[in-house]
Amino acid sequence: MDTTASGSSGPRSSGLRSSGLRPQTVVVAAGRTGPVPGEPLSVPLVLASNFRSPAAGPDGMRASGYAREDGTPTWAALEAAVGELEGGTAVAFSSGMGAISAVLGLLPAGSLVVAADDAYVGTRVLLADGAGTGRWQAQFVDITDTEATLAAARSADLLWLESPTNPLLDVADLLVLCERGQAGEALVVVDNTFATPLLQHPLALGADIVVHSATKFIGGHSDLLLGLAVAAEPEVAGRLRKRRMLDGATPGGLEAFLALRGLRTMAVRLERGQASAGELALRLREHPAVGRVRYPGLPEDPGHKRASAQMDGFGAMITFELRGGPAAADALCERLRLINSATSLGGVESNVEHRGRKPGQEHLPPGLLRLSVGCEHVEDLWADLAAALGSLS
Ligand X SMILES: *Cc1c(COP(=O)(O)O)cnc(C)c1O
The residues binding ligand X (CB under 6 A) are 95-97, 120, 122, 162, 166, 191, 193-194, 213, 215-216, 225, 227
Nearer to ligand X by Cβ, of 97 and 186: the residue is 97
Nearer to ligand X by Cβ, of 210 and 389: the residue is 210
Task: Please check whether residue 183 is in contact with residue 177, taking contact to mean a CB–CB distance below 8 angstroms.
Answer: yes
Residue from 17, 135, 216, 243 carrying the catalytic annotation: 216
Could you tell me the smallest distance in angstroms from the CB atom of residue 171 to ligand X? Answer: 14
Q: Write the DSSP assignment of 230-273 as a string of letters.
A: EESSHHHHHHHHHHHHHH--PPPHHHHHHHHHHHHTHHHHHHHH
Taking phi over 0 as left and psi of -120 to 50 as alpha, with beta for the rest, 297 belongs to alpha
Residues in the chain, overall count: 393
Tell me the residue number closest to ligand X, measured at CB: 96
Dihedral over Cα of 349, 369, 122, 173: its sign: positive
Q: Which of 235, 243, 237, 190 is nearest to 213 (CA)?
A: 190
Q: Nearest 5 degrees, angle CA 290-CA 296-CA 300? A: 65
Could you tell me the smallest distance in angstroms from the CB atom of residue 341 to ligand X? Answer: 18
Residue from 2, 12, 68, 117 carrying the catalytic annotation: 68
Catalytic-residue membership of 216: yes
Nearer to ligand X by Cβ, of 134 and 359: the residue is 359
Catalytic-residue membership of 68: yes
Residue from 157, 170, 173, 191 carrying the catalytic annotation: 191
Catalytic-residue membership of 223: no
Could you tell me the smallest distance in angstroms from the CB atom of residue 100 to ligand X? Answer: 6
Nearer to ligand X by Cβ, of 63 and 259: the residue is 259
Nearer to ligand X by Cβ, of 4 and 192: the residue is 192
Nearer to ligand X by Cβ, of 51 and 160: the residue is 160
Query: Could you give the strand order of the β-sheet that contains 136-141, starting from the edge strand earlier in sequence?
Result: 89-93, 227-231, 209-213, 187-191, 158-162, 111-116, 136-141
Could you tell me the smallest distance in angstroms from the CB atom of residue 347 to ligand X? Answer: 12
Residue from 17, 120, 170, 272 carrying the catalytic annotation: 120
Catalytic-residue membership of 66: no
Could you tell me the smallest distance in angstroms from the CB atom of residue 240 to ligand X? Answer: 16
Could you tell me the smallest distance in angstroms from the CB atom of residue 21 to ligand X? Answer: 27
Alpha helix ranges (H) inside the chain: 23-29, 67-70, 73-86, 96-104, 121-132, 146-153, 174-177, 196-199, 202-205, 234-247, 253-264, 266-286, 304-310, 325-335, 378-390
**Cα(188)–Cα(126) distance, integer angstroms:** 18
Active site amino acids: 68, 120, 191, 216
